[in-house]
Structure 1
Amino acid sequence: MKIVIVSDTHMPRKGRELKEALIEDLKSSDLIIHGGDFQTIEMYEEFMVYGELIAVAGNVDSEELHSLLPKKRIIEKMGLKIGVVHGDGTGKTTEKRAFEAFGDDEVDVIIFGHSHIPFSRYMKGVFLFNPGSPTDKRRLPYYSHGVLTIGDTWKCEHIFYR
């Protein structure tokens, strides 16, 4: 199973179109997980064109998206429990806020966004993954998204591009 992970698209404010590297992965995905900050309902609908979409609301998403999407969710795919949250808030790092959002929930992976900074690291036995942003790389040299592949084992990797 190929899951494309994306967050912080911020369109149309930070970009006018998705990069080809992301579009190619979306076309071949079995599932898309978005960690929030689409910004508009139109961007949410554009992702839905590519297939099944699991998403959460981010801090800059429209009221319409906040009424449609939860702030956090847990899904299970092929035995892997995946938590999804945007990670915004005050105090602590984005990673710690994302981790703490799942408190006593049993998850194997937490997908989050907000910082636009690609991140992949274990914290207390849980794998935390921030795909970065495909449209707003801030001071980083590359745009990015993620791909989670699940088979007999699983791996999660960043895809970087200009």
Structure 2
Amino acid sequence: MRIIVVSDTHMPKVRRGLPEILKEDLKKSDLIIHAGDFQTLDVYNEFMEYGELVAVVGNVDDPDLQALLPQKRIIMKKGLRIGVVHGDGMGKTTEKRALEAFQPDEVDLIIFGHSHIPYSRYMKGSFLFNPGSPTDKRKLPYFSHGVLTIEDTWKIEHKFYR
């Protein structure tokens, strides 16, 4: 199973379209996970055209998306419990807010966004992963998204591009 992990697309405010490298990965995916900040319902619908989409709302998503999407969710794929949350809020780091969103739930992997900073690390028994942003790299030298592969075991990695 090949899952494309993305967050913080912020379209059309920051960029008018998805990068070709991301589009190619979306075409080859079995599932897409988006950790919020699409910005508009049109962008959400664009992701839906590529296949099955699991998403949560982000802090800049318009009212239509706020009415449609949950703040967090837990899904199970091939025995892997995946928590998805945007990670915005007050106080603490984005990583700590993402981790706390799933306490006391037991999840293997937490996917979050908000900071636009790629992140990949174990913390308190869960693996935390922020795919970065494919459209708004802020001060970083690269754009990014994630690829989660689940076979007998699972692995998740960043794909970086300019």
1:28-47 alignment runs, 5 A limit: 28-47=28-47
1:19 aligns with 2:19: yes
1:104 aligns with 2:124: no
1:75 aligns with 2:75: yes
Deviation at 1:101, TM superposition (A): 0.3
| Structure 1 CA distance for aligned equivalents of residues 118 and 8 of structure 2 | 11
TM-score, normalised to structure 1, is 0.99
Gaps of 5+ in 2: none
CA RMSD of superposed structures (Å): 0.3
**Structure 2 equivalent of residue 128 of structure 1:** 128
| Structure 2 CA distance for aligned equivalents of residues 85 and 105 of structure 1 | 13
| Structure 2 CA distance for aligned equivalents of residues 43 and 72 of structure 1 | 19
| Structure 1 CA distance for aligned equivalents of residues 113 and 152 of structure 2 | 27
| Structure 1 CA distance for aligned equivalents of residues 123 and 41 of structure 2 | 33
Deviation at 1:106, TM superposition (A): 1.0
TM-score, normalised to structure 2, is 0.99
* 2:21 aligned partner, one-letter code: A
- Post-superposition CA distance 1:94-149 (Å, at most 9, x none): 00000000011010000000000000000011000000000000000000000000
Query: How many residues are aligned here?
Result: 162
Aligned-residue sequence identity (percent) comes to 75
* 1:126 aligned partner, one-letter code: S
The runs of 4+ residues in structure 1 deviating greater than 2 Å are none
